[in-house]
Amino acid sequence: MGDREPEEPRPHRRVLPPDFVWHEPNRDIQGYEQAKQFVSSFFEAFPDISISVEDVIGEGDQVVSRYTIRGTHQGATEEFGPPTNKQMELGGITIHRFEGGKIVEEWERYDNLSVLQQLGLAPEQ
Protein backbone atom coordinates (compact mmCIF):
# COMPACT_ATOMS: atom_id res chain seq x y z
CA MET A 1 0.00 0.00 0.00
CA GLY A 2 2.90 2.37 0.68
CA ASP A 3 4.28 4.72 3.28
CA ARG A 4 2.24 7.54 4.70
CA GLU A 5 3.67 10.65 6.31
CA PRO A 6 0.73 12.16 8.26
CA GLU A 7 -0.12 15.76 7.36
CA GLU A 8 -0.89 16.67 10.95
CA PRO A 9 -0.30 14.81 14.23
CA ARG A 10 -3.95 14.37 15.16
CA PRO A 11 -6.95 12.35 14.10
CA HIS A 12 -9.21 14.08 11.62
CA ARG A 13 -12.62 15.30 12.79
CA ARG A 14 -14.12 14.48 9.41
CA VAL A 15 -13.78 10.72 10.10
CA LEU A 16 -14.07 10.58 13.92
CA PRO A 17 -17.25 11.59 15.74
CA PRO A 18 -17.10 13.23 19.20
CA ASP A 19 -18.13 9.94 20.90
CA PHE A 20 -15.55 7.78 19.09
CA VAL A 21 -14.27 4.76 21.13
CA TRP A 22 -10.73 3.43 20.60
CA HIS A 23 -9.81 0.15 22.30
CA GLU A 24 -6.03 0.16 22.76
CA PRO A 25 -4.30 -2.97 24.12
CA ASN A 26 -3.86 -1.40 27.57
CA ARG A 27 -6.72 1.15 27.76
CA ASP A 28 -9.84 2.54 26.16
CA ILE A 29 -9.78 6.01 24.68
CA GLN A 30 -13.14 7.78 24.79
CA GLY A 31 -14.00 10.56 22.37
CA TYR A 32 -12.27 12.70 19.82
CA GLU A 33 -10.40 14.87 22.36
CA GLN A 34 -8.79 11.90 24.16
CA ALA A 35 -7.87 10.38 20.78
CA LYS A 36 -6.27 13.68 19.76
CA GLN A 37 -4.20 13.77 23.00
CA PHE A 38 -3.07 10.15 22.56
CA VAL A 39 -2.02 10.63 18.93
CA SER A 40 -0.27 13.94 19.71
CA SER A 41 1.81 12.35 22.48
CA PHE A 42 2.91 9.56 20.11
CA PHE A 43 3.99 12.11 17.48
CA GLU A 44 5.78 14.07 20.22
CA ALA A 45 7.76 10.97 21.22
CA PHE A 46 8.47 9.95 17.60
CA PRO A 47 8.54 13.13 15.45
CA ASP A 48 9.98 11.28 12.41
CA ILE A 49 7.22 8.66 12.50
CA SER A 50 6.27 6.86 9.30
CA ILE A 51 3.30 4.56 8.83
CA SER A 52 3.17 1.87 6.15
CA VAL A 53 -0.21 0.29 5.51
CA GLU A 54 0.41 -3.30 4.40
CA ASP A 55 -3.16 -4.58 3.92
CA VAL A 56 -6.72 -3.27 4.06
CA ILE A 57 -9.72 -5.62 4.02
CA GLY A 58 -13.34 -4.56 4.40
CA GLU A 59 -16.67 -6.27 4.85
CA GLY A 60 -19.98 -4.79 5.93
CA ASP A 61 -19.41 -1.96 8.41
CA GLN A 62 -15.85 -3.03 9.32
CA VAL A 63 -12.43 -2.46 7.79
CA VAL A 64 -9.28 -4.23 8.98
CA SER A 65 -5.85 -2.74 8.35
CA ARG A 66 -2.40 -4.20 8.97
CA TYR A 67 0.35 -1.63 9.36
CA THR A 68 3.95 -0.99 10.38
CA ILE A 69 5.00 2.13 12.28
CA ARG A 70 8.66 3.21 12.41
CA GLY A 71 10.20 6.08 14.29
CA THR A 72 13.05 7.38 16.43
CA HIS A 73 12.35 8.15 20.08
CA GLN A 74 13.32 11.85 20.14
CA GLY A 75 10.73 13.45 22.42
CA ALA A 76 9.97 13.18 26.14
CA THR A 77 6.50 11.87 27.04
CA GLU A 78 4.86 10.36 30.09
CA GLU A 79 4.47 6.96 28.41
CA PHE A 80 8.00 6.69 26.95
CA GLY A 81 10.01 8.95 29.28
CA PRO A 82 13.03 10.99 28.14
CA PRO A 83 14.34 10.46 24.58
CA THR A 84 16.50 7.38 24.00
CA ASN A 85 17.28 8.27 20.35
CA LYS A 86 16.65 4.60 19.53
CA GLN A 87 14.57 3.48 16.58
CA MET A 88 11.51 1.32 16.92
CA GLU A 89 9.37 -0.70 14.56
CA LEU A 90 5.85 -1.68 15.50
CA GLY A 91 3.54 -3.95 13.53
CA GLY A 92 -0.15 -3.92 14.30
CA ILE A 93 -3.69 -4.62 13.22
CA THR A 94 -6.71 -2.35 13.61
CA ILE A 95 -10.38 -3.15 13.15
CA HIS A 96 -12.43 -0.02 12.35
CA ARG A 97 -16.24 0.00 12.66
CA PHE A 98 -18.04 2.60 10.55
CA GLU A 99 -21.42 4.31 10.88
CA GLY A 100 -22.53 7.09 8.56
CA GLY A 101 -19.11 7.30 6.91
CA LYS A 102 -17.27 7.84 10.22
CA ILE A 103 -15.14 5.54 12.36
CA VAL A 104 -17.21 5.08 15.53
CA GLU A 105 -15.17 2.33 17.17
CA GLU A 106 -11.71 0.89 16.74
CA TRP A 107 -9.86 -2.14 18.16
CA GLU A 108 -6.07 -1.97 18.08
CA ARG A 109 -3.64 -4.88 18.55
CA TYR A 110 0.14 -4.55 18.73
CA ASP A 111 3.06 -5.61 20.93
CA ASN A 112 3.76 -2.64 23.22
CA LEU A 113 6.37 -4.62 25.20
CA SER A 114 8.42 -5.06 22.02
CA VAL A 115 8.48 -1.27 21.52
CA LEU A 116 9.65 -0.73 25.11
CA GLN A 117 12.36 -3.36 24.63
CA GLN A 118 13.54 -1.76 21.36
CA LEU A 119 13.85 1.57 23.18
CA GLY A 120 15.76 -0.01 26.09
CA LEU A 121 12.91 0.77 28.50
CA ALA A 122 12.11 -2.88 29.33
CA PRO A 123 14.46 -5.86 29.66
CA GLU A 124 14.82 -8.27 26.74
CA GLN A 125 13.37 -11.72 27.44
pLDDT at 32: 86
Give how far the C-alpha of residue 120 lies from the chain's centroid of Cα atoms, to the nearest Å.
Answer: 20
The predicted structure's pLDDT at residue 11? 57
Query: What is the average per-residue pLDDT within 92-116?
Result: 95
Cα distance from N-terminal residue to C-terminal residue, the chain: 33
Residues 9/94, Cβ–Cβ less than 8 Å: no
The pLDDT value given to residue 124 = 87
Rounded distance, CA 106 to CA 88, Å? 23
- CA atoms 75, 34, 102, 12: torsion sign: negative
Whether domain 2-118 has CATH 3.10.450.50: yes
Q: Using only C-alpha atoms, what is the Rg of the chain?
A: 15
Q: Is the pLDDT of residue 3 over 60?
A: no
> What pLDDT score was predicted for residue 67?
97
**What tens digit of pLDDT does each residue of 39-95 get?**
899 999 999 999 999 999 999 999 999 999 999 999 999 989 999 999 999 999 999
